Amino acid sequence: MSLAAQVVLQRGSLSLDVEIEVADGEVLAVLGPNGAGKSSLLRVLAGLLPPDGASVVREGATIWDGDGTHVAAHRRALGMVFQDHLLFPHLSVTENVAFGLRTRGVGKAEARSTAQGWLARVGLEGLGGRRPAQLSGGQAQRAALARALVGDPRVLLLDEPLSALDARTRLTVRAELRRHLAEFAGSTVLVTHDPVDAMALADRVVVVEDGRVVQAGTPAEVNRRPRTDYVARLVGLSLLPGTGTAAGRSVRLDSGGEVAVAEEASGPVFAAVRPESVALYLARPEGSPRNVWPATLVGATPHGATVRCELSGEVPLVADVTATAFAELGLVPGSPVWATVKASEVAVYAR
Amino acid sequence: MTRARGGTGIPAPLLVPAAAGIAFLVLPVVGLLVRTPWSDLGPKLTAPGVGDALRLSLLSATLATLLSLLMGVPLAWVLARSRIRGRSILRALVTVPLVLPPVVGGVALFLVLGRQGLIGRWLFEQFDVTIPFTTTAVVIAETFVAMPFLVISVEGALRAADARFEDVAATLGAGRWTTFRRVTLPLVSPGIAAGAVLCWARALGEFGATITFAGNFPGTTQTMPLAVYLALQEDTEAAIVLSMVLLAVSLATLLLLRDRWLGRATVPVA
């Protein structure tokens, strides 16, 4: 029991070529911007979208797609949760959850009692008689999860399962989902554009952009060492591609400019700077920092107690300053500033 | 912005023709009501032939609707969901009876199912079955004219329904037929009901194709519209009474539809 897939798909402007492997009990997050092909990938895994010839989807020893085989969606042992719960509006919540059992030949009474057991597991005890329209967003998504898991699937596919929920509900449902995924013995593929979902729920992350895998690793790795601008932006880092200088301890950026670093760096590398380690001044600061760059403030958005400042210049950066400091500096878009970063605060890793 | 007619917000160039339109549609019905011999209603309604015509009309329209449901719902599914080639041609063919003059439809049916017709001759020779000028012919003529209303209505409902529910059903182990029965059909049932009512009303009022293909025999093929037309030649009052009956049935249909539409609009959105 494990899922391995090499999916090739050409659909309109989308050209998808992605390889993934998910072990039993593992949760793989597919992270990427809208239109990257994540949902198409999931639809191919589910059997809802026929892939191109070169594709192979394998569940354990069973081939779902490939070698001229195409197992229809309803014959694959899988469960799927969609962005907006998609509970059948004409059935009660219990009937929704029991649906997958009934189609697989389980008797009515047994299907009902199993469904009710699952409703209790997801915290919806006593709500089984309701219509889906009478549930809140969070309750509906819990019911959808129960419906997907009730048939004891070997593969669980989650398509943006939390993105239709409001912020507070998302938090609680995410925590519950994490618990259910930990108990789930099969392979899980979670598609999301929210890095928090990926970090909180997944054992491994693959980042898909324009139909290709651009980065793969544990959530911590992806978080700490993003390899593309998209991921860096998601995790709130400024990503500066450059080349380690011969002398070491310094990176010449592709965009021009130079960044002093604390470690030896050679060859093509990324320098990553966290917004909170960037300090802003109106005048060139005196003293020791080795990284001092002139920059222009191009945008500022409040972010809790801090203000996130976007800077353009030789070294494009994002800086978090406290709201007080922001007011004291009297910054407005277009203001010229000096940005400093300690060399020890710059992460360097090979490209 | 200038507003005509103190506050209605309807510009005069639209208001006048719209009012004329309403009058044009309503006045004939009012005329019918005014001329109805209310005191004579009982005897006229129980006159010989009236009951037969009404019974035949209700029966044949109902059978035509059932036949349309049986063939029309699957046809609508094929038009809305399948990926077969030539679907647009198929859709055009389905709508032909909508624009075809019913009399022409009757002639066409006669040419195919009449004793000398393509299929009719075979039916007659093999099974000694004759279709024209029978109650069967009435049902066939009504089905031919009315089924497109059902197909168009159901196809629209299918297109409006979220096809992703069918994907969900597939991931839950439901094959195509199970999905159709357990998910698609219940989801579009309001559309099917509306289409069936429209279809039934159209079948009830069918005249041209019926008289051409089935003739006008009291008791077997003389439906209400035919009886009305015939009565008008001899006894105007009888024609008016028969018309009133048809009008009542049509109004009841309209109310049924309105209820359904209102019912759908008031579904609680939690």
Q: Which of A217, A219, A248, A222 is nearest to A237 (CA)?
A: A222
Q: Are residues A217 and A244 in the same domain?
A: no
pLDDT, one tens digit per residue, over A42-92 is 999 999 988 887 788 888 888 888 878 888 899 998 999 998 999 999 999
The answer to whether residues A26 and A203 touch, using CB atoms and an 8 Å cutoff, is yes
pLDDT tens for A116-144 read 999 999 999 999 999 999 999 999 999 99
Q: What is the DSSP letter of A84?
A: S
Question: Any residues with CB less than 8 A from the CB of A120 and at least 6 apart, and which?
Answer: none
> Which residues make Cβ contacts (< 8 Å) with residue A204, sequence separation at least 6?
A22, A26, A27, A28, A29, A216, A217, A218, A219
Identify the domain containing residue B142 by its residue range. Answer: 57-221
Q: How sure is the predictor about B165, in pLDDT bands with cuts at 50, 70 and 90? A: very high
Does any domain span residue B245?
no
Average pLDDT for B182-202? 91
Over range A270-280, report the average pLDDT: 89
Confidence of residue A191 (pLDDT cuts 50, 70, 90): very high
The answer to whether residue B269 scores a pLDDT higher than 80 is no
- CATH number of the CATH domain containing B74: 1.10.3720.10
A128 by Cβ neighbours in 10 Å (0-12 / 13-18 / 19+) ranks as: buried
- Is the pLDDT assigned to residue A1 strictly greater than 80? no
Three-state secondary-structure class, residue B207: coil
As a whole number of angstroms, the distance between CA A222 and CA A213 comes to 13
Q: Is residue B265 part of a domain?
A: no
Alpha carbons B186 and A130: distance in angstroms, whole number? 17
Residue B68 forms part of a structural domain: yes
Residue A24 and residue A138 in one domain? yes
Q: Is the CB of residue A139 less than 8 Å from the CB of residue A124?
A: yes
- Cβ contacts of B214 within 8 Å, gap of 6 or more: B132, B133, B134, B135, B137, B138, B141, B221
Amino acid at A54: A
- For chain A, how many residues are written? 351
> Quick one: A198 and A311 in the same domain?
no
For residues A250 and A273, what is the distance between their CA atoms, to the nearest angstrom?
14
Tens digits of residue pLDDT in A195-241: 888 888 999 999 999 999 999 999 888 888 888 888 888 888 888 88
The pLDDT-based confidence of B3 (bands split at 50, 70, 90) is very low
Which ipTM did the prediction report?
0.80
Tell me whether residue B199 is in a domain: yes
- B230 is a domain residue: no
What does the pLDDT read at residue B212?
A: 92
Q: Are residues A130 and A260 in the same domain?
A: no
Interface probe, candidates A59, A74, A135, chain B, greatest B C-beta count within 10 A: A74
User: Is B126 contained in some domain?
Assistant: yes
Q: How confident is the model at residue A288 (pLDDT cuts 50, 70, 90)?
A: low
Is a pLDDT exceeding 70 seen at residue B157?
Answer: yes
Q: Are residues A222 and A153 in the same domain?
A: yes
The alpha-carbon gap from B56 to the nearest alpha carbon of chain A, in Å, equals 37
Residues of chain A with pLDDT > 70: what percent?
99
**Binary contact (B267, A72; C-beta < 8 A):** no
Of B170, B267, B268, the CB nearest to A73: B170
- pLDDT at position B267, please? 39
Number of compact structural domains in chain A: 2
pLDDT band at A335 (very low <50, low <70, confident <90, very high): confident
Mean per-residue pLDDT over chain B, rounded: 86
Nearest to B178 among A76, A103, A157 (CB): A103
Q: What average pLDDT does range B8-34 have in this prediction? A: 90
For residues A190 and A282, state if they share a domain.
no
If you average pLDDT over residues B22-50, what whole number do you get? 84
Specify if B38 maps to a domain: no
**B236-265 and B12-35 are packed helices; what angle lies between their axes, rounded to 10 degrees?**
130
Interchain CB distance below 8 Å, B173 and A135: no
Distance from CA of B126 to the nearest CA of A (A): 44
Residue A108: what pLDDT?
92
Task: Find, in chain B, the residue whose alpha carbon is nearest to that of A144.
Answer: B168
The answer on A215 and A271 residing in a single domain is no
B165–A73 C-beta distance less than 8 A:
no
Q: Average of pLDDT values for A15-29?
A: 93
- In this structure, the answer to whether residues A90 and A187 fall within a common structural domain is yes
Rounded mean pLDDT of chain A? 89
> Is residue B265 pLDDT above 50, yes or no?
no
Q: Indicate if A134 and A42 belong to the same structural domain.
A: yes
Residues A156 and A189 sit within 8 Å (Cβ to Cβ): yes
Residue A19 and residue A148 share a domain: yes
Q: For chain B, what is the domain count? A: 1
Beta-ladder partners of A222: none
Q: 0.90 exceeded by the pTM? A: no
From residue A205, give the alpha-carbon distance in Å to each of A179, A221, B259: 18, 9, 53
SS3 B246: helix
Same domain, A209 and A244: no
The dihedral of CA A293, A296, A301, A304: what is its sign? positive
Q: What are phi and psi of A17, to 5 degrees?
A: -150, 95
d(CA A25, CA A21): 12
| Range(s) of the domain holding residue A43 | 3-227
